[in-house]
Amino acid sequence: MERAKIHERISGNRLRTENYEKNFCDAHPPLNLHEAKVEADRCYFCYDAPCVTACPTSIDIPKFIRQISTGDIDGSAKTIFDQNILGGMCARVCPTETLCEEACVRETAESDPVKIGLLQRHATDKAIFSKQQFYKREAETGKKIAVIGAGPAGLACAHRLSMYGHTVSIYDAREKPGGLNEYGIAAYKTVDNFAQNELDFIKEIGGIEFHQNKKLGKDLSLENLMSEYDCIFLGVGLEDTNNLSFLEEKTLGVEDAVDYIANLRQTADKSTLPVGRKVVVIGGGMTAVDISVQIKLLGAEEVTIAYRRGKEAMNASSVEKERATSNGIVIREWLQPSSIEKIDANLSAVKFEYTAYKDKKLIGTNEFLTLEADQLFLAIGQTLEDDPLLKKLKIDNGKIWVDSEGRTSIPKVWAGGDCTIGGEDLTVTAVANGRDSAESINNFLRN
């Protein structure tokens, strides 16, 4: 790769203006009324429905689908919100193909499950965009709870606690609330500023105050919060990202996938984003697919996902992997990164070692492959922030230990979402954690 061409290869404005809008339109267009009723009529309304068991928030799926089929859209929305107040976002981003829809009886009978995710979106969108309220706050209890983190877990916890009459203060390190929903999800999955629309819907219950740009360990301390509030809920997510040992110095073209996605979500003009011509993504999860698809939609010519094991071991769902390949992305298996090549301080190639299993252990084979690249994205996982405050809690395998009700090792402190053991990097699981912790906190405060 010639030195003079390095800077030219990473630039914005790859596409025509109209193509950016087309490429980032809604990945799953909503069902209209007729389509929703036809799809709802396909449900068997199972008595012991396996789809309910497969849903981390235990939504009564047959009930809300039956309500759609009878025209009771408001009732259907309430059935969903009773269990999952972020049901609108989950309808868009949940890997339904490995949760409720995989468990659908029709999946076995016809290999074509009921489109539960799209039906859930049909039921919830009307209420969210009109800010329709189904809940009233109970009488004020005089109790105050601090929620750290305005992501799915924190929002679910705050809404449930406010519903019980408690006053909630949410502290969040970013400029805008929403956490993963606002900053971490592919733009084509949540169009039309949906994360903030859903947030406004949640706020309508009242009793929740938001404090942005407040970071635990910098602007906040657990000691001060514990003296000011009756209880604390930690939904801080995983702020730090993993890195590769050989990437010790800054290299132009090497970027963290999570940071790039966050920037993409907050950028009004996508043509200004830096896009390489030959892009390599290291990782095998949802983030790896999200960044690879989006960088291709932004105009990259060649995009390759490199994963150290076989494709069947990738954390990304089959639907996400198919999304990648259908967008022209090459998934290369059994490759682990070993080094990068540079011209001056600019990335020019990534060197990989082929891997294999020996005695049930993944090993390098001493065979290598070099991929030319002017942009490299790391999507190799995130970790709990290295914060002395959090180390006062019991930490296990890099995550906060909690019991079955979300209680941490410190009295009056609960936690949920990605930062805890059992957190699965799923919005729906974080919502379940926040909701269940709120129930535990409420029981504690009342008893």
Span 388-437, pLDDT tens digits: 777 789 998 889 999 999 999 999 999 999 999 887 789 999 999 999 99
- In this prediction, residue 241 carries a pLDDT of 78
CA distance 430 to 290: 19
Q: What is the mean pLDDT of residues 177-191?
A: 94
6 pLDDT more than 70: no
Helix (H, G, I), strand (E, B) or coil at 391: helix
For the stretch 96-129, pLDDT in tens is 999 999 999 997 767 789 999 999 999 999 999 9
pLDDT of 298 > 60? The answer is yes
pLDDT at 311 over 80: yes
Beta bridge partners of 400: 395, 420
* pLDDT classification of 286: cutoffs 50, 70, 90: very high
pLDDT score at 13 = 83
Q: What is the pTM of this model?
A: 0.93
Architecture of domain 33-130: Orthogonal Bundle (1.10)
Instruction: List, for residues 237-274, the tens digit of each pLDDT value.
Output: 987 778 888 887 778 899 999 999 999 999 999 999 99
Tokens of 58: 């235990």
Q: Give the whole-angstrom CA distance, residue 354 versus residue 112.
A: 38
Assigned fold of 144-239+384-446: FAD/NAD(P)-binding domain (3.50.50)
Quickly state the pLDDT bin for 2 (edges 50, 70, 90).
Answer: very low
Q: What pLDDT digit, counting tens, does each position of 52-67 carry? A: 999 999 999 999 999 9
What burial letters (b/e) apply to 168-198, b meaning 16+ CB within 10 Å? bbbbbbbebbbbbbbbbbbbbebeeebbebb
What's the confidence (pLDDT) of residue 247? 83
For residue 180, the number of C-alpha atoms closer than 13 Å in the C-beta half-sphere is: 29
What are the residue boundaries of the structural domains of the chain, listed by start?
Answer: 33-130, 144-239+384-446, 241-381
Nearest-5° Cα angle at 187, 186 to 190: 95
DSSP symbols for 230-258: SEEEE-----EE---TT--S--BTEEEHH
pLDDT at 3 over 60: no
Rounded CA-CA distance 163/405 in Å is: 19
* Better-predicted residue by pLDDT, 256 or 4: 256
Mean pLDDT, residues 353-364 taken together = 95
**In the prediction, which pLDDT does 8 show?**
56
Nearest-angstrom CA–CA distance, 196 and 199: 5
Is 241-381 the same fold as 144-239+384-446? yes
Q: HSE-up of 175 (CA within 13 Å, CB side)? A: 4
- Nearest in space to 61 (alpha carbons), one of 128, 127, 106, 110: 106
Mean pLDDT of 346-365: 95
Average confidence (pLDDT) over 326-340? 97
What confidence category does residue 276 fall into, taking pLDDT thresholds of 50, 70 and 90? very high
The pLDDT tens digits for 370-386 are 999 999 999 998 888 76
Helices 61-69/33-40 angle, 10° precision = 130
- Report the topology of domain 241-381: FAD/NAD(P)-binding domain (3.50.50)
The model's pLDDT over 197-216, given as tens digits with 9 standing for 90+, comes to: 999 999 999 999 999 999 98
Lowest mean pLDDT among 105-114, 181-190, 201-210, 227-236: 105-114
pLDDT at residue 270, as a whole number: 94
State the amino acid at position 413 in one-letter form. Answer: V
> Beta partners for 47?
none
Amino acid 140: pLDDT: 96
pLDDT in the model for residue 10: 79
